[in-house]
């Protein structure tokens, strides 16, 4: 067996293929001569910008799996609710629904509740709808001619309140807040509150369909027009009573807010998948 004593006869062979004399299109190394007196540093590599394209949804930080937890986002749920309520309103009052919105109601104790709002020529209907069983649980009817004031503005709380919320809301009055009894004001389950407060639903930015029916400004515009028409056409005590549209902070008188803190953080006011419990 022959032994090679040294490797002086071997020469390095270039593996570059023919036609590869040009520098790479994606990586360019600096070819400038370095200053011998300059400390050597890391060699910089410049790369071409990416040619790929990315599309951002209206809310680029929205995580799709979170929206699937809401039953209202399940395929066919909102369409079924619309058909059910159209038939129920036509059967009970004989009126036709002119508008349909999905909003979040904030009660006088700062609790969030998922609600469907319906608008007819004479009525504003606030519906609590169970998107799990696909059935209407409660339907509150408010004559448009009875609505006397609408306020749009940011939420405000007492200075000592521990549970504050950011954002903008809309409050609709059909009675005087000063006439509200002390018992109903401090009762979290009271139904004698002469106003209702709404804000936009969390599903607003999931797709174009929810973007339209969850937009607070669109609902307010349609509501103001419908109320003004109802006041013009109303008879008796409603005739001549105007509508006040104000822009001012919306006060929510909660101080400790323990109940709303727990309920809102866990989305107890929404038809929501709570996860599986078992072994």
Domain extent listing, the chain? 64-265
Q: Cα separations (Å) of 233 from 20, 101, 104, 113, 155?
A: 84, 24, 30, 33, 33
Provide DSSP, 191-241: S--SEEEEEE-TTTTSSHHHHHHT-HHHHHHHHHHHHHHHHHH--GGGTT-
- Length of the chain in terms of residues written: 279
Residue 8: is its pLDDT beyond 80? no
Q: Which residue has the higher pLDDT, 33 or 94?
A: 94
Partner residues linked to 47 by β-bridges: 27
58-63 mean pLDDT: 50
Rounded CA-CA distance 253/259 in Å is 13
Residue 28: is its pLDDT beyond 70? no
Residue from 97, 74, 100, 123 nearest 270 by CA: 74
pLDDT for the residue 15: 46
Partner residues linked to 112 by β-bridges: 106
Residue 31: is its pLDDT beyond 80? no
Question: What would the pLDDT profile of 165-219 be if each residue is shown by its tens digit?
Answer: 889 999 999 987 677 777 777 777 777 889 999 999 999 988 889 999 999 999 9
3-state secondary structure of 185: helix
Question: What would the pLDDT profile of 149-160 be if each residue is shown by its tens digit?
Answer: 999 999 998 888
Residue 11: is its pLDDT beyond 70? no
The fold for domain 64-265 equals PH-domain like (2.30.29)
Range in 12-21, 47-56, 244-253 the model is least confident about: 12-21
At 235, the pLDDT band (50, 70, 90 cuts) reads: low
251-267 mean pLDDT: 83
144-153 mean pLDDT: 95
With 0-12 CB in 10 A as exposed, 13-18 as middle and 19+ as buried, what is 10? Answer: exposed
pLDDT for the residue 50: 53
pLDDT for the residue 276: 56
**Beta strand 99-106 with 195-200: parallel, antiparallel or unpaired?**
antiparallel
- State the average pLDDT for the chain: 78
* Percent of the residues in the chain that have a pLDDT greater than 90, as a whole number: 47
Residue environment code for 59-93, b if the CB has 16+ CB neighbours within 10 A, otherwise e: eeeeeeeebeebbbbbeebbeebbebbeebbeeee
Q: Which residue has the higher pLDDT, 79 or 58?
A: 79
pLDDT for the residue 7: 43
| Alpha helices (H) along the chain | 64-67, 77-92, 182-185, 208-213, 216-233, 258-265
At 53, the pLDDT band (50, 70, 90 cuts) reads: low
Cα atoms in the Cβ-side hemisphere of radius 13 Å centred on 243: 21
At 25, the pLDDT band (50, 70, 90 cuts) reads: very low
With 0-12 CB in 10 A as exposed, 13-18 as middle and 19+ as buried, what is 26? Answer: exposed
Residue from 59, 110, 116, 55 nearest 88 by CA: 116
pLDDT for the residue 58: 52
Residue 98: is its pLDDT beyond 80? yes
Range in 92-96, 126-130, 145-149 the model is least confident about: 92-96
């Amino acid at each position: 067996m022959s032994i090679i004593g040294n490797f002086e006869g071997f020469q390095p062979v270039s593996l570059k293929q023919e036609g590869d004399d040009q520098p790479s299109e994606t990586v360019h190394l600096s070819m400038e001569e370095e200053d011998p007196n300059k400390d050597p540093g890391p060699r910089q590599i410049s790369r071409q910008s990416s040619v790929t394209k990315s599309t951002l949804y209206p809310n680029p930080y929205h995580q799709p799996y979170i929206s699937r937890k809401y039953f209202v986002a399940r395929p066919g749920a909102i369409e079924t609710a619309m058909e059910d309520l159209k038939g129920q309103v036509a059967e009970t009052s004989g009126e036709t629904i002119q508008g349909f919105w999905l909003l979040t109601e904030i009660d006088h104790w700062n609790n969030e509740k998922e609600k469907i709002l319906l608008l007819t020529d004479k009525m504003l209907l606030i519906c609590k709808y169970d998107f799990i069983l696909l059935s209407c649980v409660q339907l509150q009817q408010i004559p448009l001619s009875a609505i006397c004031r609408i306020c749009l503005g940011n939420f405000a709380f007492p200075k000592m309140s521990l549970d504050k919320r950011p954002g903008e809301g809309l409050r609709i009055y059909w009675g005087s807040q000063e006439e509200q009894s002390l018992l109903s004001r401090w009762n979290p389950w009271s139904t004698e509150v002469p106003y209702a407060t709404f804000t936009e639903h969390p599903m607003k930015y999931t797709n174009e369909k929810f973007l339209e029916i969850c937009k607070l400004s669109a609902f307010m515009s349609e509501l103001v027009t419908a109320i003004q028409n109802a006041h013009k056409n109303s008879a008796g005590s409603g005739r001549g009573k105007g509508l006040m549209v104000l822009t001012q902070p919306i006060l929510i008188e909660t101080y400790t807010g323990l109940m709303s803190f727990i309920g809102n953080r866990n989305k107890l006011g929404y038809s929501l998948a709570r996860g599986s419990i078992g072994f």
